Amino acid sequence: MPKIGVLVSGELDRSGRSSDELEQDIERILDVLEAGNAIGPVVGCDLVRSTIDVRFSVDGEDSAAAHRRIGDISEMIDEAVGGRVKTATTSAEPVEAACV
């Protein structure tokens, strides 16, 4: 049965944080993404804007399940770094699982 795949793009405003604090936030976010079974997580930061950018994918049996996972992961990120993550998603697309 095909699953639904969703690509998530997120941003956190971390104004007033030092570069060391930003690095610590990034480590906590990566830990959350790994614990939340996010697919292909990537996290980076813009030191000039003091923002952290997050990209990851999730899958689910249907669109609602995928979006619940996004909500759960976003909530975990918010709790880990004490900030509000703003997310945008691609449209949900069915994907076939394949071994290569």
The single-letter DSSP state of residue 14 is -
pLDDT at 79: 94
Tokens at 83, concatenated: 């900030």
Burial tier of 32 (Cβ tally within 10 Å: 0-12, 13-18, 19+): buried
Whole-model pTM? 0.81
Per residue in 54-85, pLDDT tens? Answer: 999 898 888 888 889 999 999 999 999 988 88
How large is the angle between the packed helices 19-35 and 63-81, nearest 10 degrees? 140
Q: Which ranges in the chain belong to alpha helices (H)?
A: 19-35, 63-81
Q: Identify the residue whose tokens are 């691609």.
A: 90
76 three-class SS: helix
Instruction: Answer yes or no: is pLDDT of 41 > 80.
Output: yes
The average confidence (pLDDT) of the chain is: 85
DSSP conformational letter for 62:
S
Q: What is the pLDDT of residue 71?
A: 92
